[in-house]
Amino acid sequence: MALRDHDFSSLNGALQFDAPLAPLSWFRVGGPADLLFTPENEEDLIAFLKALPRDVPILTIGLGSNLLIRDGGFRGAVIRLGKAFQAISIETDFHLRAGAQAADVKVARMAAEAGLAGFSFLRGIPGTIGGALRMNGGAYGGETKDIFVSARGVDREGRIHHFDHTAMGFSYRHTSVPDDVIFTEALFKGHKGDPAKILEEMNAITEARSSTQPVNTRTGGSTFRNPPNMKAWELVDQAGLRGHCIGGAEISKLHTNFLIAHEGAKAADIEALGEETRRRVKEMTGIDLEWEIKIVGEPAS
Task: Give the residue with greater pLDDT, 17 vs 8.
Answer: 17
pLDDT at 9: 84
**pLDDT value at 223 more than 80:** yes
pLDDT per position as a tens digit, 113-145: 999 999 999 999 989 999 999 999 999 999 999
pLDDT at 138: 92
**pLDDT value at 268 more than 60:** yes
Per annotation, catalytic residue among 222, 250, 278, 280: 222
Query: What pLDDT band is residue 228 in, cutting at 50, 70 and 90?
Result: very high
For residue 301, indicate whether it is catalytic.
no
Query: What pLDDT band is residue 215 in, cutting at 50, 70 and 90?
Result: confident
Query: What pLDDT band is residue 1 in, cutting at 50, 70 and 90?
Result: low
pLDDT per position as a tens digit, 61-102: 999 999 999 999 999 999 999 999 999 999 999 999 999 999
For 3-83, give the CATH class.
alpha beta
DSSP string, the chain: --GGGS--TT--SEEEEEE--GGGSTT-----EEEEEE-SSHHHHHHHHHHS-TTS-EEE-SSSTTEEE-TT-EEEEEE---GGGG-EEEETTTEEEEETTSBHHHHHHHHHHTTEES-GGGGG--SBHHHHHHHT-EETTEEHHHHEEEEEEE-TTS-EEEE-HHHHT-BTTB--S-TT-EEEEEEEE-EE--HHHHHHHHHHHHHHHHHHS-TTSSB-S--BPPPTTS-HHHHHHHTT-TT-EETTEEE-SS-TT-EEE-TT--HHHHHHHHHHHHHHHHHHHS----B-SEEES----
Residues 24-39, mean pLDDT to the nearest whole number = 97
pLDDT at 216: 85
Residue-averaged pLDDT of the chain = 95
Fold of 86-212: 3.30.465
For residue 292, indicate whether it is catalytic.
yes
For residue 173, indicate whether it is catalytic.
yes
Per annotation, catalytic residue among 28, 75, 156, 173: 173
The model carries a pTM of: 0.92
For 232-296, give the CATH class.
alpha beta
What are the sequence ranges of the domains in the chain? Answer: 3-83, 86-212, 232-296
pLDDT at 283: 97
Residues 4-29, mean pLDDT to the nearest whole number = 92
